[in-house]
Amino acid sequence: MLLYIHVPFCRSKCGYCAFHSVPVAAAGPDGMQQYLDALLREIALWGDRLGNRAVHTVFFGGGTPSLLPEKAVAVIMDRLRRAFDIQNGAEISFEANPESVSAYGYLDTLFKCGINRLSLGVQSLNNDGLRVLGRPHKAREAVNAFRLARQAGFGNINLDMIWGLPSQRLKLWLDELKAVTELKPDHLSCYGLTLEEGTPLEQACLQGRHTLPDEQEQARMFIYGAEFLESRGYMQYEISNFARMGFQCRHNLGYWEGAEYLGMGPSAVSTLSGRRWENPHGLQEYARRTAEGTLGHDAAALTPLERAEELIMLRLRTARGLRVKAYRDLTGRDFLREHKQLVHALHRNRLVRISNGYLRLTRNGMLVSNTILENIFATLPEETPHKLSAAQEP
pLDDT at 249: 98
In whole angstroms, what is the distance from residue 125 CA to residue 320 CA? 31
Residues in the chain: 394
**Rounded percentage of the chain residues whose pLDDT exceeds 70:** 93
Question: What proportion of the chain, given as a percentage, has pLDDT over 90?
Answer: 80
pLDDT of residue 16: 65
| 363 vs 361: CA distance, rounded Å | 6
pLDDT value of residue 283: 94
pLDDT digits (tens, 9 = 90+) for 261-316: 999 999 999 999 999 999 999 999 999 999 999 999 999 999 999 999 999 999 99
Beta-strand relationship, 157-163 and 117-123: parallel
d(CA 176, CA 160): 12
CA distance 226 to 188: 11
Give the pLDDT confidence of 227-260 residue by residue, as tens digits.
999 999 999 999 999 999 999 999 999 999 999 9
66-78 exposure pattern, b = at least 16 Cβ within 10 A, e = fewer: bbbebebbbbbbe
Please, what are the domains in the chain?
Answer: 2-255 (3.20.20.70), 304-378 (1.10.10.920)
Neighbours of 370 (CB within 10 A): 9
CA pair distance 261, 272, nearest whole angstrom: 6
Most confident region among 21-30, 195-204, 383-392 by mean pLDDT: 21-30
Residue scoring higher pLDDT (24 or 7): 7
For 242, the enclosing helix (H) or strand (E) is strand 241-243
Of 194 and 97, the structure prediction assigns the larger pLDDT to 97
pLDDT mean across residues, the chain: 91
* pLDDT tens by residue, 154-172: 999 999 999 999 989 999 9
Q: Does the structure show a pLDDT above 60 at 388?
A: no
* 390: pLDDT strictly greater than 50: no
Helix-strand-coil split of the chain, %, nearest 5: 45, 20, 35
Least confident of 1-10, 13-22, 198-207: 13-22
**Would you state the pLDDT for residue 386?**
45
What confidence tens digit (pLDDT) does each residue in 14-41 have?
666 666 677 777 777 799 999 999 999 9
Confidence of residue 382 (pLDDT cuts 50, 70, 90): low
Q: How many CB atoms lie within 10 A of CB 330?
A: 24
Report yes or no: 158 and 91 within 8 Å, Cβ to Cβ. no
Per-residue model confidence as pLDDT tens digits over 104-122:
999 999 999 999 999 999 9
What mean pLDDT comes out for the span 124-130? 92
Tell me how far apart the alpha carbons of residues 18 and 20 are, in angstroms, rounded to a whole number: 7
Position 76 scores a pLDDT of: 98
Q: What is the pLDDT of residue 380?
A: 85
95 has which bridge partners?
A: 119
pTM, entire model: 0.91
d(CA 84, CA 45): 11
| Beta-ladder partners of 123 | 161
The confidence score (pLDDT) of residue 204 equals 72
pLDDT computed for residue 393 by the predictor: 31
**HSE (CB half, 13 Å, CA atoms) of 230?**
12
pLDDT tier for residue 139 given thresholds of 50, 70 and 90? very high
Q: Which of 128, 138, 69, 129 is nearest to 97 (CA)?
A: 138
User: Left, alpha or beta for 59 (phi > 0: left; psi -120 to 50: alpha)?
Assistant: beta
- For position 383, what pLDDT does the model report? 56
Q: 179 Cβ partners below 8 Å, 6+ apart?
A: 125
